[in-house]
Structure 1
Amino acid sequence: MNTNNKYIEFKKKRELGDILTDTFAFLRQEGKSLFSILMKTCGIPFVLLLLASAYYTYSSSNLFDPVSISNGEMFNSGGILISLFLMLAALLAFYGLLFGSVLHYIKAYTDNKGTIDYNTVIQGVRKDFGSILGLGALSGIIIFFGFVLCFLPGIYLYVPMSLVFAILVFRNVSVTDAISESFQLVKNEWWITFATLFVLGIIIWIISMIFSVPALIYTFTKTFTAASEGTYANPAAMVDWVFIGLNAIASAAQYALYVITAIASAFIYFNLNERKYATGALEQIDSLGNDS
């Protein structure tokens, strides 16, 4: 059980800057409590995802091996395809559990005015895990085909698809209803939602690049040394266990930053929901009537 007196109201209208500011304010305020939940729900999938990512990095090194390219052996072993499948499967499980955990935490937070019952959150994640997995796979396929058909439809579809998990958790609807309602929610609000996601994406990218610096420095140093010694003949040799380890650290930071996206999606959802239906304002009016 966690109780916080500095309650942040989710159910109200916000501008772009307010959404970003309150996202990081909530993370600072509830970070310790939230990450204790995430360790229980996402710890094992997170480790499996890192292992799968490291295996994919190792397997894909053949793409740069001139001997494998000349012999046509890049995909013969199937290692790259297997590692890619394992990484995508682990990513889907981790992504679903992380979003489910964060959003159910926020649901408990808003329902109880800042008081969190950990068992309620974990039970909610377990209940919706199958639906979240299916929703994640379906929304991913929709976005993928949007980008395949043309780049712009992919961007257009990404905006409503970014809210489907919040709709599923907060409205307790089915997978198909969550997708359908996401388009209704962003109707006439697409541009401001896109702008919010775009700015948030830039911020997260900048943060993730900080953790990528060690791998970039190591790669540059090793490449420069090999070139100066005249031994730079096989780019695949750059992918050693040190590089894989540094790349795993960068990947871990990138995956952990999904927490920010999940929190922001809740603020975006409540902002759009308030603009269209004013449910938060109506709840406040009802509570005032009950108090009187």
Structure 2
Amino acid sequence: MSEFNEFDQQGSVPNRDTGSIISHAFEMYKGVFGYGIVAMIIYLVGGSVIQMLTGFDSASIVEDMKSSGGDFNYWSAPGLPLYMGASSLFGLLLSPLYVGLIYMVNKYNTKSPIEFSDLFIGYRQNFVNILIYSLLSGIISSVALALCVLPIIFVYPFLLLGYPILLFENASATDALGKSFNIAKENYGVFLLTGFLGFLISIAGVILCGIGVILTAPFIMIVMYSTYCAFLGKPRQIMYSK
């Protein structure tokens, strides 16, 4: 049977404002930068394998869209339904890596030794609730995106604390969702701006240089950790034992 053993250590905590949270996240990201890249490589390699297995060719789809003059039907692309289903399942199964990265950030913040296996703690601790939360947040985000994209900007702040709560409080998926919503509701301005800036920085790799997304995408996970520290205090260092 697995459980969490906890003990206090030193660590930095940002103030409850966007500038302090983002600055704290940058400082924290320095310590887990390489592991964030590993997580992204796993995600990209898995996505490429799924494309090969489903016969969906995103590169050719982009070319067809450019040459169609605006008449291209994306949903009629060969292999799209199977690809969408498989990639969604893969993304869901990969969500514990986000928790693992947050766990590593906390170890860096408390000056504890980081091990490569820490990246996979989400597969050993609270795994089912992490998957359920990922599914629920994915549905919420998809609905927001379907409502003309813009609503996702205003909905995402309510999801900002979910993964840290799942890790540090060993909460259920619904409890994590509810607590994240309630805290964000009371501090919505800060959460909105923090989530927006964190997201912009995370996608900067796509805008500046496509492959750069490997370097920047994990940053939003660090923002989640720094936001948790600001509003709920520095988590205790977690020792996982079987």
TM-score normalised to structure 2 length? 0.73
CA–CA separation in structure 1 for the residues paired with 2:176 and 2:121: 17
User: Deviations 1:107-165 (Å, cap 9, x if unpaired)?
Assistant: 4345xx21125277256322234322221111111222244457665443311112211
Is 1:178 aligned to residue 172 of structure 2? no
Is 1:126 aligned to residue 123 of structure 2? yes
CA–CA separation in structure 2 for the residues paired with 1:165 and 1:100: 6
Match of 1:259 in 2: 218
CA–CA separation in structure 2 for the residues paired with 1:85 and 1:255: 23
Report the Cα offset of residue 21 of structure 1: 1.7
CA–CA separation in structure 2 for the residues paired with 1:73 and 1:27: 37
Give SS of 1:116's match.
Answer: coil
Match of 1:27 in 2: 29
Paired-residue identity, %: 19
CA–CA separation in structure 2 for the residues paired with 1:79 and 1:268: 39
Q: Is the 8 A contact 2:50 2:87 kept in 1?
A: yes
Match of 1:106 in 2: 105
User: Deviations 1:28-76 (Å, cap 9, x if unpaired)?
Assistant: 24434x45xx74x77544411244468440463596476xx89x9973x
- In our comparison, the structure showing a higher alpha carbon Rg is 1
Match of 1:269 in 2: 228
Q: Given residue 18 of structure 2, which amino acid in structure 1 is its aligned partner?
A: L
CA–CA separation in structure 2 for the residues paired with 1:117 and 1:210: 31
Match of 1:156 in 2: 154
Q: 1:195 to 1:123 in 2, by over 3 A?
A: closer
**Higher share of residues assigned helix:** 1
Match of 2:79 in 1: 79
Q: 1:149 to 1:178 in 2, by over 3 A?
A: same
CA–CA separation in structure 2 for the residues paired with 1:196 and 1:74: 34
Higher relative contact order (Cα pairs below 8 Å, separated by 6+ residues): 2
CA–CA separation in structure 1 for the residues paired with 2:18 and 2:137: 24
CA–CA separation in structure 2 for the residues paired with 1:206 and 1:123: 26
Report the Cα offset of residue 167 of structure 1: 1.1
Report the Cα offset of residue 182 of structure 1: 0.7
Give SS of 1:114's match.
Answer: coil
Q: Given residue 264 of structure 1, which amino acid in structure 2 is its aligned partner?
A: V
Give SS of 1:115's match.
Answer: coil
CA–CA separation in structure 1 for the residues paired with 2:183 and 2:75: 45
* Runs of at least 5 residues in structure 2 that lack an aligned partner in the other structure: 1-8, 237-242
Match of 1:238 in 2: none
CA–CA separation in structure 2 for the residues paired with 1:25 and 1:191: 23
User: Deviations 1:219-247 (Å, cap 9, x if unpaired)?
Assistant: xxxxxxxxxxxxxxxxxxxxxxxxxxxxx
CA–CA separation in structure 2 for the residues paired with 1:149 and 1:74: 18
Q: Given residue 218 of structure 2, which amino acid in structure 1 is its aligned partner?
A: V
Q: Given residue 124 of structure 1, which amino acid in structure 2 is its aligned partner?
A: I
Q: Aligned pair count? A: 221
CA–CA separation in structure 2 for the residues paired with 1:73 and 1:124: 38
CA–CA separation in structure 1 for the residues paired with 2:48 and 2:160: 24
User: Deviations 1:78-133 (Å, cap 9, x if unpaired)?
Assistant: 51222222333333333x133121112134345xx211252772563222343222
Match of 2:195 among 189, 194, 197: 197
Give SS of 2:186's match.
Answer: coil
Q: Is the 8 A contact 1:189 1:272 kept in 2?
A: no
CA–CA separation in structure 2 for the residues paired with 1:188 and 1:74: 40
Match of 2:205 in 1: 207
TM-score normalised to structure 1 length? 0.62
CA–CA separation in structure 2 for the residues paired with 1:126 and 1:183: 25
Q: Is the 8 A contact 2:101 2:221 kept in 1?
A: yes
Q: 1:150 to 1:18 in 2, by over 3 A?
A: same
